[in-house]
């Protein structure tokens, strides 16, 4: 069987040649990788998070390699939504892969303005809402930890666009199901999870954090078991599709997320040490499906047995 047929899937009504997406924040704006990776071999690209105005990001050091992963505190550095539309999106439109715009803000109005800017532009398949930011209007309460705040934000954004909305949830909560349900009921078309796990690395001799901003977000292989649990729990709680991410480095890793209930996955940290990771993982997933005698990768979705 042709791998194109075996790996084909859909998410929020968007046809994907395979369920492997490059994760936001790890693949720049996508176009920068065009000379390194054959971008048509991956299902989609989730571009670096976009804000209403450019952001310079946090002071260095911003990255720290841990024993089994990576910590980062980039500070959501980006060129801003308007500059993205002007300088990056034109080059992305010609790619044979779907483009997802990651959107974030510190007030609901921040999100609204970014959506308005992007919604006038062609070439974007869907929005991924990064809600792991503190709502400065509510004393720093994180959108991702309060179902009421989350539902209100998603409901208002839903009024502004007809494009699919994917809500990216944080693992830094006591329970994921109330948040997943809140997003679904407010109009989300899909959920992606997980975002990074809040963490701290210390230089014992200097008695100082390894990251300039103090705390950072842990990603990579260390968080995969956490991510798999949360994907499974979210998939049990809602009817809308799940996109799983967190420590995916091989095709079999991707298969595990699909078995847990995800319909697609995002590859993040692996791209730092192997820029071709998303395309390689798609090939490995196809080989896994062939070895398992599966006619379609969709046969894996939600098949976990206890």
Question: Catalytic site residues?
Answer: 133
> Interior CA angle at 39 toward 38 and 44, to 5°?
155
Residue 148: Cβ-neighbour burial (10 angstroms; 0-12, 13-18, 19+): exposed
Calpha distance 211→48 (Å, rounded): 21
The greatest distance separating any two alpha carbons of the chain, rounded to the nearest whole angstrom, comes to 58
Q: With beta carbons less than 8 A apart as the criterion, state whether 247 and 26 touch.
A: no
Q: What is the dihedral of CA 33, 300, 131, 54, to 10 degrees?
A: 10
Burial of 93 (0-12, 13-18, 19+ CB in 10 A): exposed
Cα separation of the two ends of the chain: 31
Which residues make Cβ contacts (< 8 Å) with residue 94, sequence separation at least 6? none
Q: Which of 163, 171, 135 is nearest to 247 (CA)?
A: 171
């Amino acid at each position: 069987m042709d791998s194109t047929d075996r790996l084909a899937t859909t998410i929020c009504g968007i046809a994907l040649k395979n369920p492997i997406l490059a994760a936001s924040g790890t693949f720049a704006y996508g176009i920068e990788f065009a000379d390194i990776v054959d971008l048509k071999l991956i299902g989609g690209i989730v571009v670096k998070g976009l804000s209403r105005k450019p952001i310079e990001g946090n002071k260095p050091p911003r990255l720290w390699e841990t024993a089994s992963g990576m910590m980062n505190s980039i500070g959501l550095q980006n060129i801003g939504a308007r500059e993205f539309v002007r300088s990056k999106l034109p080059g992305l439109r010609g790619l044979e892969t779907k483009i997802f715009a990651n959107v974030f803000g510190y007030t609901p109005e921040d999100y609204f303005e970014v959506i308005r800017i992007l919604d006038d532009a062609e070439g974007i398949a869907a929005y991924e809402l990064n809600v792991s930011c503190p709502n400065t209007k509510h004393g720093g309460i994180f959108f991702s930890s309060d179902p009421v705040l989350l539902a209100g934000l998603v409901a208002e954004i839903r009024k502004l666009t007809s494009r699919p909305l994917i809500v990216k949830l944080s693992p830094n909560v006591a329970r994921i199901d109330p948040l997943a349900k809140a997003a679904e009921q407010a109009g989300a078309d899909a959920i992606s999870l997980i975002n990074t796990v809040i963490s701290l690395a210390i230089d014992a001799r200097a008695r100082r954090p390894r990251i300039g901003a103090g705390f950072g977000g842990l990603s990579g292989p260390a968080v995969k078991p956490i991510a798999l649990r949360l994907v499974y729990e979210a998939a049990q709680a809602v009817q809308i599709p799940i996109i799983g991410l967190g420590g995916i480095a091989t095709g079999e890793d991707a298969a595990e997320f699909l078995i847990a209930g995800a319909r697609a996955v995002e590859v993040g940290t692996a791209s730092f040490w192997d820029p071709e990771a998303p395309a390689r993982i798609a090939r490995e997933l196809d080989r896994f499906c062939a070895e398992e005698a599966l006619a379609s990768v969709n046969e894996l979705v939600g098949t976990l047995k206890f």
